[in-house]
Amino acid sequence: MSDGPADESAAAPDRTPSPRADVCVVGAGPAGSLVAARLSRAEYDVVVLDAGPRFDPDERSDRMERHLRPGLDEPIWGMGGERDAYSSSGGRSYPLNAARVKGVGGSTLHWQGMVMRLHEQDFELDSSVGLGADWPLDYEDLRPYYAAAERELNVSGASDNPFAPPRERPHPLPAFPPSYSDSLFAEACETLEIATHSVPNARNSEPVDGQSACVGYGTCDPVCPSGAKYDATRHVERAEANGARVLDRVPVQRLEHDGAGDRVTAAVYATPDGEEHRQTAREFVVAAGGVETPRLLLLSASEAYPDGLANSSGVVGRYFMDHLFAGVGGTLDEPTRQKHVGFNTTESHQFYDRPDDSRTAIKLEFLNYAGPAPADVALGADVFGDALLERVRDAYGNRVAMGALVEQLPRAENRVRLDPSRTDDHGNPVPDVVWSLDDRTRRTLERANEIQRAVLTEMGADVKWTVGPENTGPAYHHMGTTRMGTDPKTSVVSPRLRTHDLSNLTLAGSSVFVTGGAMNPTLTIAALALKAADHVSERL
């Protein structure tokens, strides 16, 4: 470990490499910035390279307005354009640039912020019900890291979930109490014997560490102006305070390795002035998200690794998974008080664990933001004055909706590969997301809709729409593309998150997931990132 020069302030626009870095982290989303915060706290010299910009926190209110007002079409977080070009094939189109943010903070700038632990069954799906594959580690292995991740993200939650895996202590902050509409759902669920419970949220229910408590802007996804919603800039700031350097707008083009193909020697990155630089380090951690991580490995093909770096197994990019959205919505003949806040306060994990191999996991959500807000109606209306108010009242006020995440199992044909026919702004082949749905996933979507319809019908709702197998879409959780395992022939990283092929290359993020369950992935990403940091630290 070297002493990082104290005057090397991260705010400086200096984008030249650090001379003696211990660790080079690629990507400043939650995975990369947690690794960086942890390793820099242990006084290692850490450099973080992110492809996207540093966003000015003072501009968050403008972004919120852009989100709320039609006509201001500039993307909220700058996604799109040549830098982010991609292809989509395989049967289901995948809207990749709606599903990620490039920049310091990564996709958590845009995310919703629901954070739950995977269940014990998720880690042993094959051996318990003959589905998918087992992880090479179990819930107990990850449990202390889950607890640590909840502290890092200041999770607001309660221990009222009868389906949740065992936990050691309460969440760091109290849960957000249920909404008024939750109480309407609760009655129906009680009759149907569906147990409901709170939602763990990575947003502050109380002010903490100098951060604001949630103040109810209600625009969490895509932007929280108050900063009450967790985003990874918090850990970027911590890493920088510990002396780490975080460089923005420096997309890594490829990783280089030594002659023997045993160790990564440098991350080659481009700067906005068109120059290329080489960042050397003792350890490398790639945390570029579930699509860009495999892409970077594929772009780093060499003589020793003709199919892509760390890809002697041939599975880099394979087993791409996302969660599918299922939903049913309608109207009640009474007010439902939606859209005060932008997050949910009640869920049910009763249908999560799989009874057998007939279906995958279902996570049920009771939405607090069904239907349009008054401004959504008004800004697109073709009437004004009293007629407009009438229309706003018709559209807002009595909507209810349930959502669900549905699990998709890993299948080799779903994958991220390079599309040699298109290149990005640096001339690199773009990622091609090959994605399709199988019958079991469809059946599970139908089952989710069935439960949702039963609840809405029990409430006396007039059901107006359904999102099911035909019109479902991804929940923007890219998983599985550099899977973890003990066998180097069938997996990319070990349970210590290090690639089997290169002894100083660690991958952090949902790309290492073996199966995806139906829980939003970021708490597990954070837990694995902390685990990865421990293992990197052991080697330094």
Ligand X SMILES: Cc1cc2nc3c(=O)[nH]c(=O)nc-3n(C[C@H](O)[C@H](O)[C@H](O)COP(=O)(O)OP(=O)(O)OC[C@H]3O[C@@H](n4cnc5c(N)ncnc54)[C@H](O)[C@@H]3O)c2cc1C
Where on the chain is the footprint of another protein (CB under 8 A)?
A: 58-62, 64-65, 68-72, 176-180, 183, 205, 213-219, 225-226, 334-335, 337-342, 345, 368, 373-375, 377-379, 381-386, 388-389, 392-393, 396-397
Considering only residues 210 through 239, tell me which ones interact with ligand SF4, judged by CB under 6 A: 214-220, 224, 226, 228-229
Of 485, 434, 492, the closest CA to residue 316 belongs to: 492
Strands 324-331 and 462-467: antiparallel
For ligand X, the closer of residues 194 and 507 by Cβ is 507
For another protein, the closer of residues 132 and 178 by Cβ is 178
Shortest distance, position 114 Cβ to ligand SF4, whole Å: 12
User: Does 369 participate in binding ligand X (rule CB under 6 A)?
Assistant: no
Q: Using CB under 6 A, which of 17, 225, 243, 521 touches ligand X? A: 521
User: Does 198 participate in binding ligand SF4 (rule CB under 6 A)?
Assistant: no
CA atoms within 13 A on the CB side of 440: 15
Q: Using CB under 6 A, which of 102, 235, 359, 447 touches ligand X? A: 102
Sign, Cα dihedral of 467, 477, 423, 103: positive
Alpha-helical (H) ranges within 21-121 are: 30-41, 60-68
Which partner from the list ligand SF4, another protein, ligand X, none does 106 bind, CB cut-off 5 to 8 Å by kind?
ligand X
For another protein, the closer of residues 319 and 369 by Cβ is 369
DSSP labels, 298-342? HHT--SS-TT-TT-TTS-TTBS-B-PEEEEEEEE-SS-----SSS
Which partner from the list another protein, ligand X, ligand SF4, none does 379 bind, CB cut-off 5 to 8 Å by kind?
another protein
Considering only residues 250 through 279, tell me which ones interact with ligand X, judged by CB under 6 A: 251-252
Q: Which stretch binds ligand X (CB under 6 A): 2-10, 74-82, 104-112, 415-423?
A: 104-112
DSSP strands (E only) in 69-196: 87-89, 156-157, 173-174
For ligand SF4, the closer of residues 216 and 314 by Cβ is 216
Shortest distance, position 380 Cβ to ligand SF4, whole Å: 22
The token pair that represents 383 in the structure block: 């009437």
CA distance 284 to 302: 17
CA distance 366 to 403: 6
Q: Using CB under 6 A, which of 84, 292, 322, 347 touches ligand X? A: 292
- Find tokens 């918090």 and name the residue: 234
Q: Which class for 137: exposed (0-12), middle (13-18), buried (19 or more C-beta within 10 A)?
A: middle
Considering only residues 465 through 494, tell me which ones interact with ligand X, judged by CB under 6 A: 476-477
286 touches 27 (CB < 8 A): yes
Shortest distance, position 109 Cβ to ligand SF4, whole Å: 12
Considering only residues 324 through 343, tell me which ones interact with ligand SF4, judged by CB under 6 A: 341-343
Report the SS3 class of residue 489: coil
For another protein, the closer of residues 227 and 469 by Cβ is 227
Of 11, 83, 14, the closest CA to residue 279 belongs to: 14
Residue 167 is given by DSSP the state -
Alpha-carbon Rg for the chain in angstroms? 23
230 touches 107 (CB < 8 A): no
> Which member of 171, 477, 478, 500 is catalytic?
477
User: Does 203 participate in binding ligand SF4 (rule CB under 6 A)?
Assistant: yes
Which partner from the list another protein, ligand SF4, ligand X, none does 108 bind, CB cut-off 5 to 8 Å by kind?
ligand X
Shortest distance, position 363 Cβ to ligand X, whole Å: 11
Of 40, 533, 539, 103, the closest CA to residue 245 belongs to: 40
**Residue 257 falls in the annotated catalytic set:** no
Q: Which stretch binds ligand X (CB under 6 A): 130-138, 281-289, 366-374, 490-498?
A: 281-289
Q: Please, what is the angle between helix 233-241 and helix 30-41, to 10°?
A: 20
- Find tokens 């420096």 and name the residue: 250
CA distance 493 to 507: 7
Q: Which residues are catalytic?
A: 477
Give the footprint of ligand X on this chain (CB under 6 A).
Answer: 26-32, 49-52, 99-100, 102-103, 106-108, 110-115, 221, 251-252, 287-289, 292, 296, 476-477, 509-510, 520-522, 525
